[in-house]
Structure 1
Amino acid sequence: MMTPSDLLRERRALGRKARKETPRSAHAKIGNTHRDPVDLLRENSLGRVEALVPLRYGRMLASPFTFYRGSAIIQAHDLSTTANSGFHFQICGDCHLMNFGGFATPERALAFDINDFDETAVGPWEWDLKRLSASLCIAVRHLGHGDRLADEVVELAVHSYQYWTERYAAMSPLELWYELITFERLERIVTSDDSRQRIRNGIEKASRRTHDTMLPKLASRREGIWQIRDTPPGVFHVHGKTTLFTHDDDWLGLGDWRKLMGPIYKHYLKSLGAVRGNLLAHFEMHDVAFKVVGVGSVGTRCLILLMVDPHEKPLFIQFKEASTSVISRYFDAPAPRHQGHRVVHGQRLMQGASDPFLGWSSGPFGRTIYGRQLRDMKISATLELFQKDTFRDYAGLCGWVLARAHAKAGGQATEVAGYLGNGDQMAEALVSYSRAYADQVEQDYEKFRHACRTGQLEARTDADMAADFVA
């Protein structure tokens, strides 16, 4: 009879065996890039709020890095033609370096973790690591730090992922479940003074990003009711004078925000369960507005609900449309029963701690939605201010977080550790991959720019669209 130690050795051996079928050097290849990036972006824009699609392209047009952030579908297509080790489990699906950040746990600790799961799905773990690695390379290049640092930060991220995967392979499932990467731990592990100061600044900044401090910035009180201020195109009322919805839109046809939010909120409460439902029963709805978020998400339906309790304390809940993951388009796995549930399930599996108000819903006309708190102590990195040593530290931290997320969600850290081994093969392969893919992204970006310049795609900036609303 095999002992637990025998079983763990056997699982590690499976990882080593996978190298024969898929050598680690195979990960240097970027896949089949004979596709039209403009066509893929058009496909990915279908179903979005039509008037906001030009804003999506405008934000992507800012740089090759913002283009990369907004084009997860292109890399998913390319990755689908690359080799993988055969170990598949829940992945983030859009694991670029700006989808890591700080947020408050239910116990009010400040955690550093992956914070965007719109594309989460079952897939090859390598896809997350490659999207992270390429994003580091592209960002470092874009900010003028040179190819040498780009190679170095990719290597640091992969080595960190490798080191921590080995550590997590020795942990029990329960130990992994309780593993939380807090800002206090970050401060102890980083090597540069600039990184330590940025972590301290981040803790202070997060403490100020609460619902209370957000209220006067986003809303005004009128006749005892708090109303969200319109600042189009970023924030507007669906049924208001500054709406960007067309007359034939089904949501606009409802005529009133209560008819829109009522069914969404009802289904959302069911997903939270009785305890959190009882808590939210103390709050009264005051207003709902549409909010444009991110780069790749621009044009997807996103509402912010402002509620207030009897003590005049606010709570903002964000409700965002969940559509088919780009990973699911290119990797064959069982289809989720509900796209909003897919996002919530993936987030709960992968994060060390999740928002207590994370839930899913179905809106009018069958759209699938998930809900979470808006900005509760949420912070993200300001890459433009990073020194070189800060980039090095940040790359290692992202590799650590991704290793923890994969180990917790997949339960296959032992196999992945066996596949990675202790050498430099995977890091060397992904340095080559990231260089080549960064070159490819720059080529795709130029095709995208050409499409915008020649009118194949319409791109508008935030300032340009805001000017439409100036009297």
Structure 2
Amino acid sequence: MAEIQSLESRQAIGREAREQAKRSLHAKTGDTERDPVALLKQNSAGRVESLVPLRYGRMAVSPFTFYRGSAILQAHDLAGTVNTGIVFPICGDAHLMNFGGFATPERQLVFDLNDFDEVATGPWEWDVKRLAASFAIAGQHMGVGRGTIGDLVSTCVLEYRNRMQEYSRCSTLELWHDIVTFERMIDSAASEEGKRLLIKTKEKAAGRTNESMLAKMAVEANGRWTIQDAPPALFHPGGPNTLLGKEEAWANTEAWQGKLAAAFDDYLGTLSSERRALINEFQLQDIAFKVVGVGSVGTFCLVLLLVDGYGKPLFLQVKEARESVIARYFKAAGPEHQGQRVVTGQRLLQAASDAFLGWTTGPAKRQFYFRQLRDMKVSAEVERMSNVVLQGYARFCGWALARAHAKAGGKAVEISAYLGNGERFAEALVDYAFAYAEQNEKDYETFIRACRTGKLEARTDEDMAADFRV
């Protein structure tokens, strides 16, 4: 076992980190002398070729959707900034839309990070910077004033600092047991408007279950459920609406007894024995390809519909795991299997994780991880938020990120000592957020020109759906 350091020595490490990474230097955007289009093309390599235009189409909607889909650009840029040397598994893509509500296995609704495709060992401040910049970019897109945007970023970062101070005083088990529940959020809401929205969101989450999704996504015939095609977002890989090439159309139900069955067995081997027993109570009914998010478009993502003996469903999502953009620009040891990387990182960062998290290797050596498709999951509708509610949301994101970092890294004492009691880091992050929003706007304009000139092909969901209409 590792030697336990005294609190004094850990605090000294945090304060000494200021020498190699002065807090004021975090205002710098890093190495932005690169071709964003070339990096995006590199990031699209190996994806389903026919879906890459849809990825670009979703990114083209606004500078904010572009930011969501271009984590590789910011990872590249951050590699050119100073870092504290305090590293551990970070989310890697902690923008404001990658937080949300979901149910724990004990059916408690919590607020936490909810996307870990880019999780990898890296400097903790990279997550804080991605979150800070996301508030500036989203705020500008929504027409929020500059002063208010600065307040949003400052609120988020100061909440991160304050919560990290609290966590630095927690014992190891206290920290691991800490959960940001909706009840705690409601109790700490700073406005009545925010409190009402949280209560409404909690009620909405209660209806977003596997069972409620069944009637929306599938039809029953002769006692068997079949997922309904809705291309380009949802289709059967081996069916008439497939967007996969012939060499990739392996994930149909007929192939289940072959390569996919072996991959599923390997997945079961990554679960605890009681979880394997639970899944054995279900029978596979259907498999479909599902296009999700913005940055993930073009990666393999399947939905498995399973049903138990009572006719009740379980939807599992099988998502391809590729090399993290963080790992590309910050070299550190980690699991060789990309699915295991995602699962391990998620379990470390989240307060409570999906009961069905696991990983496997599929056909063509693609690496995947499993999770439930929906289990009381809700996301923030930031474009509908007033400035007051947005301020509260920024605070909750800062809180959730601090809790995740404190648990995953065990470095709350060091980070808290580095941040100190003042506002120097928060002030630097406000400057960083505005500067990176400006950089993102430039990259977005370059990207849009590439789409207009044919250097990149971008298609909307509506355009691609029209291809399937008679």
Contact 1:254 1:260 in 2 (8 A): no
Aligned to 1:421: 420
Taking the aligned partners of 1:315 and 1:252, their CA distance within structure 2 comes to 18
Taking the aligned partners of 1:383 and 1:258, their CA distance within structure 2 comes to 44
Contact 1:344 1:370 in 2 (8 A): yes
Aligned to 1:409: 408
1:342-400 per-residue CA deviation (whole Å, 9 max, x = no partner) reads: 00000000000000111111111211100000110000000111000111111111000
State whether structure 2 residue 235 is matched by structure 1 residue 233. Answer: no
Taking the aligned partners of 1:25 and 1:312, their CA distance within structure 2 comes to 59
**Which residues of 2 match residues 17-416 of structure 1 at below 5 A?**
17-249=16-248, 251=250, 256-416=255-415
Taking the aligned partners of 1:5 and 1:242, their CA distance within structure 2 comes to 58
Alignment gaps of 5+ in structure 2: none
Aligned to 1:443: 442
Taking the aligned partners of 1:269 and 1:335, their CA distance within structure 2 comes to 22
Alignment gaps of 5+ in structure 1: none
Taking the aligned partners of 2:53 and 2:37, their CA distance within structure 1 comes to 13
Contact 1:25 1:425 in 2 (8 A): yes
Q: 1:224 to 1:131 in 2, by over 3 A?
A: same
Secondary structure of the 2:246 match is coil
How many residues align? The count is 468
Taking the aligned partners of 2:35 and 2:5, their CA distance within structure 1 comes to 49
Secondary structure of the 1:319 match is strand
Contact 1:245 1:252 in 2 (8 A): no
Identify which range, 48-57 or 331-340, moves more after superposition: 331-340
How far is the alpha carbon of 1:260 from its aligned partner? 5.0
1:2-38 per-residue CA deviation (whole Å, 9 max, x = no partner) reads: xx99910221121111112211001000001000100
TM-score norm. by structure 1 comes to 0.97
Equivalent AA in structure 1 for residue 157 of structure 2: V
1:35-84 per-residue CA deviation (whole Å, 9 max, x = no partner) reads: 01000110000111111000000000000000000000000000000001
Taking the aligned partners of 2:4 and 2:268, their CA distance within structure 1 comes to 44
Secondary structure of the 2:277 match is helix
Secondary structure of the 1:304 match is strand
Taking the aligned partners of 1:250 and 1:238, their CA distance within structure 2 comes to 5
Equivalent AA in structure 2 for residue 14 of structure 1: I
Taking the aligned partners of 1:348 and 1:295, their CA distance within structure 2 comes to 23
How far is the alpha carbon of 1:264 from its aligned partner? 2.2
Contact 1:257 1:288 in 2 (8 A): no
Secondary structure of the 1:83 match is coil
Taking the aligned partners of 1:232 and 1:178, their CA distance within structure 2 comes to 42
How far is the alpha carbon of 1:255 from its aligned partner? 6.7
How far is the alpha carbon of 1:261 from its aligned partner? 2.9
How far is the alpha carbon of 1:149 from its aligned partner? 1.1
Contact 2:17 2:84 in 1 (8 A): yes
Secondary structure of the 1:311 match is coil
Taking the aligned partners of 2:5 and 2:215, their CA distance within structure 1 comes to 60
Taking the aligned partners of 1:251 and 1:74, their CA distance within structure 2 comes to 32
Taking the aligned partners of 1:73 and 1:438, their CA distance within structure 2 comes to 15
Taking the aligned partners of 2:238 and 2:163, their CA distance within structure 1 comes to 50
State whether structure 2 residue 34 is matched by structure 1 residue 9. Answer: no
Taking the aligned partners of 1:312 and 1:203, their CA distance within structure 2 comes to 27
Taking the aligned partners of 2:43 and 2:191, their CA distance within structure 1 comes to 40
Equivalent AA in structure 2 for residue 384 of structure 1: E
Secondary structure of the 1:271 match is coil
Taking the aligned partners of 2:4 and 2:334, their CA distance within structure 1 comes to 35
Secondary structure of the 2:50 match is helix
Equivalent AA in structure 1 for residue 80 of structure 2: T
Taking the aligned partners of 1:44 and 1:376, their CA distance within structure 2 comes to 30
1:388-434 per-residue CA deviation (whole Å, 9 max, x = no partner) reads: 01111111110000000000000011011010000010000000000
1:163-213 per-residue CA deviation (whole Å, 9 max, x = no partner) reads: 000100000111111000000100111112221111111111100000111
Runs of 4+ displaced beyond 6 Å:
252-255
Taking the aligned partners of 2:427 and 2:468, their CA distance within structure 1 comes to 51
Taking the aligned partners of 1:90 and 1:299, their CA distance within structure 2 comes to 25
How far is the alpha carbon of 1:274 from its aligned partner? 1.5
Taking the aligned partners of 1:345 and 1:249, their CA distance within structure 2 comes to 28
Equivalent AA in structure 2 for residue 352 of structure 1: A
Equivalent AA in structure 2 for residue 27 of structure 1: H
Aligned to 1:454: 453
Equivalent AA in structure 1 for residue 239 of structure 2: G
Equivalent AA in structure 2 for residue 163 of structure 1: N
Contact 2:100 2:380 in 1 (8 A): yes
